[in-house]
Amino acid sequence: MYNELFKIGPVVIYGYGLMIALGILFAYRLIDYRATKRQFEMSHVFSLTAWGLVGGFAGAKLLYWMTDIQNIMSNPGSLLNLSNGFVVYGGIIGGIGAGLIYCRMKKINFLKHLDLFVPSLALAQGFGRIGCLLAGCCYGEEAHGWFGITFHHSEIAPNDVPLVPTQIMESVFSFGLCLVLILLAKRVNKDGLVAAAYLILYSLGRFVIEFYRGDIIRGQVGVLSTSQFIALMVVLATSLLVFLSRYQNRLTGKNV
């Protein structure tokens, strides 16, 4: 795989950046389509998109710095490199947090808008992992069977060694999750359930795929990678919130 796809004069088009841009574009088109059908206020949708992008970028970068703190201490200049080095979970947490702040400021329904956005978030992640494949990051461990891909010119992944295609695995999983969430949104009318499904299903899928990752700079929490630990916490916290919400509704006599 080549991250440098082509040049337009002095401008280099990188595969990772192109896939991120396409992911944002198609994700917003999906948001726009679904928001229009559901009669959302489009000014809020656009603003939430902008807030989510900024919060997601900041969160993804901050969590990467936290997992790479030893290298940063030995080379503080790496903090100035804002073009690569991101952690997806940081982006999810940062984006959702920014959206929560905006919704509180504007006094609009946070969970309802989060349900609208999460299928597009999964879609964008699918494109993002294609970008990871082109860049060679987030690579898998060495493969010992037919199920592997081999890099020959990567600056990040080991070259000339068959690796488990974790980028492809997560990309396919994310696209499938997007479809599942869209179908689920048509069948439920309780605010927050689609978002809860995204958080739980993505975390479970990510937890499994992490076992096949071969890059070791992501940090560890005991025997788990940082992402696996966060995934467990997300599943537990989301499940608890769903349980408490259903229990409260039963006490108040509301339908769930």
- What does the alpha-carbon distance between residue 230 and residue 228 come to, in Å, rounded to a whole number? 5
- Where exactly are the structural domains of the chain? 4-189
Strand partners, 7: 12
pLDDT, tens digit, 9 for 90 and up, residues 194-249:
999 999 999 999 999 999 998 866 677 888 888 899 999 999 999 999 888 876 76
Residue 250 has pLDDT above 90, yes or no: no
Q: What is the pTM of this model?
A: 0.88
Residue 28: what pLDDT? 96
Measured CA angle at 229 (ends 223, 232), to 5 deg = 125
pLDDT tens digit string along 64-112?
A: 777 767 776 777 666 666 556 678 888 999 999 999 999 999 999 999 9
Looking at residue 153, its pLDDT comes to 85
pLDDT of res. 254 = 58
Pick 191 or 63 by higher pLDDT: 191
| Strand locations in the chain (E) | 4-8, 11-14, 149-150, 162-163, 220-221, 224-225
Among 7-16, 38-47, 80-89, the range of highest mean pLDDT: 38-47
pLDDT tens-digit series, residues 105-159: 999 999 999 999 999 999 999 999 999 999 888 899 999 877 899 998 888 899 9
Residue 83's pLDDT is 59
Please tell me the predicted confidence (pLDDT) of residue 33. Answer: 96
